[in-house]
Amino acid sequence: MAAVTGWVMASRDNGGLPYMVIDKVAAEVFVFDGAGLLVGRSPVLVGAAKGDDSVPGVGDRELSNIAPADRTTPAGRFVARFGPAVGHKNVLWVDFLSAVSLHPVITSKKSEHRLERLQSPTPEDNRITYGCINVPAVFYNEVVQPLLTDTNGIVYILPEARPLNEVFRETRPQTESAGL
């Protein structure tokens, strides 16, 4: 994560907008204001399947038609903004075409134990979603909404299968940049 946040601040890649870094492996989100000050961090739930790409057309499918292997949270840089979703709720759309958003944890299916997963001490059980990023409702209401309600934000989702500099080409391992 440090490589991405360092690159964002050095390059001003966020364009002065608030941004967040989502680490799928650690199952955490770090939220920064436009100046790069950390304003909050939280555990997250992410896609049930490991991988760094959304399957083409997955955003056009009904949830019941998304195979378990297709339930990934894509890695990359996304311009996020609030917008309506099913049920007339506002969500932070991260990748609209793939139907990936960041929103409060969904608790309607008790057997999934999503609240408990968010509170567990390890990230191993935080893979449950269809690709969306779920956060605690308090974090969403007190950190995400106030920071991004009137502006876009940048979301950087770290890869778990591909090298970091393949997803974020502007970042380079220190050995490369040092000429080693």
Reported as type and span, the H/E element at residue 5 is: helix 2-11
| R_g over Cα of the chain | 16
Beta strand extents in 48-164 (DSSP E only) = 76-84, 90-95, 100-104, 127-129, 133-135, 153-157
Q: Note the pTM of the prediction, 2 decimals.
A: 0.88
Phi, psi of 75 (to 5 degrees): -90, 155
What CATH number is given to the structural domain containing 35?
2.40.440.10
In a structure prediction context, what are the per-residue pLDDT tens digits for the chain, which is 180 residues long?
A: 888 998 899 999 999 999 999 999 999 999 999 999 999 999 999 998 898 877 776 666 677 777 677 778 999 999 999 998 877 688 999 988 878 999 999 888 899 899 999 999 999 999 998 789 999 999 999 999 999 999 999 999 999 999 998 898 776 544 333 332
Query: Domain count of the chain?
Result: 1
**Structural domain boundaries, residue 27:** 2-177
